[in-house]
Amino acid sequence: MRTLLIVAHPRPGALIHAMAQRFARKVEQLGGELELVDLYRDGFDPVVRVDEYDGWRSQEVPEDVAAYQSRLKQAQNLVLAYPVWWATPPAIMQGWLQRVMTHGFAFSFGEKGAQGHLQLKAGLLVNVGSPDDTLAAEYLEPIQGVLKYCGVEDIRTCVNWGIYPGADGGKAKRALRMAEEFAVEFV
Ligand SMILES: Cc1cc2nc3c(=O)[nH]c(=O)nc-3n(C[C@H](O)[C@H](O)[C@H](O)COP(=O)(O)O)c2cc1C
């Protein structure tokens, strides 16, 4: 099984990057294939361009989008790793979803309305500053909704609450352990 792991955080030393590395290592140890994409390191441009917007039904996509779509086609799993920023993933990841999940690739409109095309299992590996886990629906459902719209039925989550810079080291250790345990679900 091949997993495409997309990470969004500007600071290479951030906890979510360490968690993504742990996740990746565990998947590989268990015999899975893993491709890690660091959107900041890629210099991904998250802004939908006017030609993309106007041509959304044409199925012609810019080169950078086509490259990510081809990597997605080779994967059976898609895992998004990010911190929650104002109840959503960082803009670079929102833009990745907005630009890469295009009509004709991720979904299309048929007789029965919108139909998702992604036959993937998905995972959300998420850090949240607040310790209040009753915010789960508010914070996660919009992204789960995007994936469901695109046909993904199996969406697993691993959410670490109360994670913020300077939080006690025990929380970081636990988050790393949880990332490793989460990896087992993708092999
Ligand atoms: C711009 C910004 C917005 C944030 N918004 C939220 C928020 O809406 N809710 C919340 O609980 N934490 C919020 N946080 C805190 C982050 O979720 C927290 O710092 C992060 O999970 C820490 O993980 P990391 O070390 O992997 O970055 C925000 C942080 C930043 C920088």
Structural domains of the chain ordered from first start: 2-186 (3.40.50.360)
Residue 58: which pLDDT band, with cuts at 50, 70 and 90? confident
- Tell me the pLDDT tens digit for each residue of 94-103: 999 999 999 9
Q: Exposure of 119 by Cβ count < 10 A (0-12 exposed, 13-18 middle, 19+ buried)?
A: exposed
- Site to probe by mutation for ligand 1, drawn from 82, 86, 132 as the one with most ligand atoms within 8 Å of Cβ, is 86
Closest CA to 72 of 45, 99, 40, 109: 99
Query: Model pTM?
Result: 0.97
User: What's the helix, strand, coil split of the chain in %, to 5?
Assistant: 45, 25, 35
At 112 the pLDDT is 86
For residues 41 and 44, give the distance between their C-alpha atoms in angstroms, rounded to a whole number: 8
Q: Is the CB of 97 under 6 A from ligand 1?
A: no
At 145 the pLDDT is 98
Residue 152 C-alpha to ligand 1 middle, in angstroms? 26
Q: Is the CB of 164 under 6 A from ligand 1?
A: yes
Higher pLDDT, 96 or 60: 96
At 165 the pLDDT is 80
- Tell me the pLDDT tens digit for each residue of 9-44: 999 999 999 999 999 999 999 999 999 999 999 999
